[in-house]
Amino acid sequence: MQIEQVKQFFQDPYNVMLASVLLLVAFNFNSVGGISVLTSVFLVVLTSVIVDSTIGYLKFKRLYVSETAVISGLVLSLVISPQTPLIFLIAAPAIAQLSKHVIRYKNKPVFNPAGLGMFLVFLLFPAGEAWWGNSITLLALILGIYISYRIARLYGSISFLSAFVIFNASYSFLQNAAFGFNSAISLIASQLFLALFMVIEPKSTTPRVDGQIVFGIVAALIAVIGFALNLPKPLLLGLLCANLAATLFK
């Protein structure tokens, strides 16, 4: 009976996502300060749940805890540095959940909630950006590919990583800078968490294959242009611009 319950649990892609980000927290927290890191993780997730549940109650007159709010909080906590001041640890998930409920198109969030929360907070506190979900590359790769496949967003992840390498290689060529196989591998490894855990967010993206490919290309292009022009937070800026592009495929 218990085995059947476990199988049923993992039939839901959101439960797979939840389990995967929890594994990333469990295996990576030592890389950014040890057990004390879990305090910031708990605070970010708790804020995400409280804000989402409060808005849900005001809208629907019923209390609930959304697994998407928990996942969003965990994703945020895997990017934000645990040393970030308390106000920003609270602000990021609060903005994320507010945007999920307020900025909508065809009854779905326009922007990746966690991505928007990070972007606005990192504008005010740039040192808060850590991306420690990438600490164990192989783990992020295995879990991320499985999640992307289960949520049917693998084309988006692959197109983003491919385009990011191609655009960076092209820019390096224009700058007469060296760019080889090792550079490509290093770029891919550095972007695994973004590509496999954030680009795939289902409600702010599209299940259409053509839409996913456009999404990945737009996110990569804006990110590379952002780095070249020294724009604020190029990776997250690319993600948010791709969210806007995805509305054309909804």
Residue 50 has pLDDT above 80, yes or no: yes
- Contact by Cβ (8 Å): 79, 118: yes
Domain range annotation of the chain: 2-132, 153-249
Alpha-helical regions (H) of 103-208? 113-124, 137-150, 154-174, 181-190, 192-193
User: Which of 202, 195, 203, 179 lies closest to 238 in space, CA to CA?
Assistant: 195
Going through the chain in order, the beta strands assigned E by DSSP cover 104-105, 108-109
Q: What is the pLDDT of residue 6?
A: 67
User: Which of 12, 111, 99, 85 lies closest to 48 in space, CA to CA?
Assistant: 99
User: What's the distance, Cα to Cα, between the start and end of the chain in Å?
Assistant: 40
Residue 200 has pLDDT above 80, yes or no: yes
The pLDDT > 70 percentage for the chain reads 98
The DSSP call for residue 136 is: S
Q: What is the pLDDT of residue 31?
A: 86
Confidence (pTM): 0.94
- Contact by Cβ (8 Å): 110, 104: yes
Burial of 111 (0-12, 13-18, 19+ CB in 10 A): buried
Q: What confidence tens digit (pLDDT) does each residue in 3-15 have?
A: 776 677 778 888 9
In residues, how long is the chain? 250
The set of residues, in sequence order, having a beta carbon less than 8 Å from that of 93 and lying 6+ positions away, is: 44, 45, 47, 48, 51, 72, 73, 76, 117
- Contact by Cβ (8 Å): 203, 183: no
The DSSP call for residue 111 is: S
Q: What is the pLDDT of residue 7?
A: 72
Residue 219 has pLDDT above 90, yes or no: yes
Q: What confidence tens digit (pLDDT) does each residue in 158-190 have?
A: 999 999 999 999 999 999 999 999 999 999 999
**Tokens 């645990």 belong to residue:** 82
Residue 1 has pLDDT above 60, yes or no: no
| Residues linked to residue 109 through DSSP beta bridges, in sequence order | 104
Token pair of 181 as six digits: 């196989």
